[in-house]
Structures are given as C-alpha cells and as structure tokens.
Amino acid sequence: MTLPVAPVNTSTPLHIETPLIASSAMAGPTGRQVWLKMEALQPPGSFKIRGVGFACQTYVQRGAKRFISSSGGNAGIAAAYAGRRLQVPVLVVVPETTTERARELIRREQGDIIVHGASFQEANAHALELVGPSDAFIHPFDDALLWEGHATMIDEVARAGVTPDAVVLSVGGGGLLCGVVEGLRRNGWGHVPIMAVETAGADSLAQAIAAGERVTLPAITSIATSLGARQVSAQAFALSQQGAATSAVTSVVVSDQAAVQACLRFMDDQRVVVEPACGAALALVYADAPQLAGFKNVLVIVCGGVTATVAQLQKWAAQ
C-alpha cells in the first residue's frame, strides 16, 4: 500500500511539538515534580525523527537524492518516514537480529531493506560501502546534525516555562544524550545534571566510564535492543568526562525486568506503549532511585520506541 504524502517544504520540521505532562503517578511521597516529555507521540513513534528528520532535510538541501541508513529499529523507521515525507528513496541496512516487526514498520514507511551481518556494526559497515555520490548516510546516533535536531525537545521545554533541576534519559549510542546536552546549553541550563540510564547487557556507556575509555561490548544481551550499541559514541563518552564544566552525567544501570515493569506501569498510568529502551529511564523514576535525591523538578525524556508490542512486554514480564 502506498501511503499519502503531504507536500513538505524541506525547511518545515518533520517532527511535532510533543506534550510536556506533569506526572502525579511518578511524583511519589517526596512531592517531587516529574515532567514527561512525550517523545513516544512522534509520528514514527520515537524521538529519533527530530534528529533524523533534521539531518535528512539538511542533506536534501545539499543535493542528496537517496538516504542510506544503518539501523535495526527506531532510527531506520524514522529515516524511512523522513524519506517518504520528503519523497526521497530510503535504503535501511539492518542486522540479522532485527525483529520482523521492525522490518515491517520500515517497509510500511516505504523504505527498502537489506539484511546484513550479525550485529549493528556489520550492518553499519555495509551501509557505508553502499553510499554513492548522490546518497546521504543517516547514522542512527553519531552525527552532529542529529544532536542539533534532538536539542529542539529542550527548546520546547524552555518555551513551556518549565525549568528542570535534573534530566533523566536512556542511553544507547548516545545521540539523545548529546542532543539534550546541546539543548540544555543553548537554553542557559548547561549546569543541569543528567541521569543516563542503560539496561544491564547494553551498558556501553557505564562500562566505558568504569574503564576510563570507550570499550566495545562483546555482545548485546539485554532485551532493550534499541539501546544495543556495543560502543557508545565518542561525543557521548566525552560529555560523561567533562564534570563541572557542563551538565554532570551520572550513569545508572537497571535490569531488563525493571525496564519492562516500568513500561507496563507507564502503560497503565499514561495509556502509552513504550519499549524497554525507554522503560530504562522510567524505571529509575518509578523506583525513586537514590540518584534523584534532592531534585525537585525532574524532566524525563519519554523517548518512545515502536519495536515492542503489548503482547511482547507481557511475555517478557511473565518470564
């Protein structure tokens, strides 16, 4: 089926301004104000469209005739969505581990798919080999254009008149972290600390911080496959090392079980389905984790994700 395409000016953002919701369910007994930036409500289902959309529009303005993306999930879906809106063909190279649901969602947005390699690293390398002179390569997390696009969510928080004293977000490759830091800085909030949450088995940032250098995980063993970057980006790692010079980044690792339970609880509280990669950040707040002690106005980036279904979440919870 061919989806309708509304005319889009290449300077008109492909993302929407998402709601900023005060959550009484997450406030807990401390009276903390918790604000939810509802990126799960973006048209392709995750925050990725902010950066991916901005990058795609920029590359079209520079003359790109096709987008090539490497992603097994939300970034590939966002690239396909952007291509459909901009009427530019998209090829997404996915690893063999990519779920059939993710492949279906990419195809639904009229993206072409090549399956290559056992991991993202292999798919990414093959995607780069395919890039021709009129193509633009859309990386899922490591591109300054992505970070500039992601930063717009913080611009929206500022316009809403909410001033957070801490930000909670999930980390995979680090694109969201880099974008949020950029958004905080340009709104005069460069001092606001960030809680960067990963699941055990996809904790490339936590392990890099512990080692004092970027490390490559031997494999992704977490069910939160959208956090499945075996090595965090150089920029994200650098931000975690800057200390008092910028937003202090505190790394936190939660279990898959905690992430899934947070997704189910969030579904009851907000009537919105998110995947475990997003549930990692939610789990920290639901648990009233000690890392949040003393903070009164917490912003949580509900990054979304559409590769997990309600049935899959329930199955994981039962296991």
What digits encode the pLDDT tens for the residues 118-131? Answer: 888 899 999 999 99
Q: How confident is the model at residue 82 (pLDDT cuts 50, 70, 90)?
A: very high
Q: Which CATH number fits domain 49-142: 1.20.140.10, 3.40.50.2000, 3.40.50.1100, 3.20.20.80?
A: 3.40.50.1100
Q: How confident is the model at residue 31 (pLDDT cuts 50, 70, 90)?
A: confident
Residue 78, SS3?
helix
Torsion on CA atoms 144, 149, 154, 156, rounded to nearest 10: 160
| CA dist., res. 187 & res. 190, Å (int) | 8
User: Does residue 3 surpass a pLDDT of 60?
Assistant: no
Token representation of residue 174: 């680090």
Instruction: Determine the Cα angle at 302 with ends 217 and 77, to 5°.
Output: 70
CB-based burial of residue 299 (10 Å sphere; 0-12 exposed, 13-18 middle, 19+ buried)? Answer: buried
| CA dist., res. 269 & res. 162, Å (int) | 22
CB-based burial of residue 131 (10 Å sphere; 0-12 exposed, 13-18 middle, 19+ buried)? Answer: middle
Q: Higher confidence at residue 274 or residue 229? A: 274
Residue 7: per-residue pLDDT: 47
Task: Please report where in the chains the tokens 């990725």 appear, as a residue.
Answer: 48
Q: What are 44-66's pLDDT values in tens digits?
A: 999 999 999 999 999 999 999 99
Task: Please report where in the chains the tokens 């809106």 appear, as a residue.
Answer: 85
The full set of domain ranges for the chain reads 20-47+145-318, 49-142
Provide the residue type at 82 as one letter: A
Domain range 20-47+145-318, CATH architecture: 3-Layer(aba) Sandwich (3.40)
| CA dist., res. 58 & res. 69, Å (int) | 15
Residue 16: per-residue pLDDT: 98
Residue 163: per-residue pLDDT: 97
Q: What are 143-184's pLDDT values in tens digits?
A: 999 999 999 999 999 999 999 999 999 999 999 999 999 999
| CA dist., res. 254 & res. 289, Å (int) | 10
The reply to whether domains 20-47+145-318 and 49-142 share a CATH topology is yes
Provide the residue type at 263 as one letter: C
